[in-house]
Amino acid sequence: MTASAHEPTRVGEARRVTGLFVREMWASFAIVSMWLAVLFDAVFGPNIVSTSAGGNSTSIPSAVVVAFFAFFATRAVARYGFDPRAGSD
């Protein structure tokens, strides 16, 4: 019965794999932080109030505006942070 040994892992490959996981971790942390900011703005944030000259008023929660920008920021961070080709040596 014979056994064959696997090729030794090269240092450059190990570093690239470790760097990939670190980048994914920070991207996940950034996305979670953005949406926690939206959550806290929804709970504790003020409303955007607009009053016209005729006396009509409109009130929109400020979290709507923050969520709009958090959506696009999430897409940008996820596109870079989870792309295996981005930031490679």
Question: Going residue by residue through the chain (89 aa), what tens digit of pLDDT does each one get?
Answer: 666 666 665 655 554 556 557 888 999 999 999 999 999 999 999 999 999 998 899 999 999 999 999 999 999 999 998 887 876 55
In terms of Cα–Cα distance, which of 66, 2, 61 is closest to 38? 66
User: How distant is the alpha carbon of residue 83 from its chain centre?
Assistant: 13
Q: How many CB atoms lie within 10 A of CB 41?
A: 18
- The first and second tokens of residue 29, run together, are 């942390």
Query: In Å, what is the CA distance from 85 to each residue of 15, 16, 47, 74, 77?
Result: 15, 11, 42, 18, 14
Rounded to two decimals, the pTM is 0.70
- What are residue 52's phi and psi, to 5 degrees? -90, 170
Q: What pLDDT is attached to residue 82?
A: 87
Q: What pLDDT is attached to residue 19?
A: 58
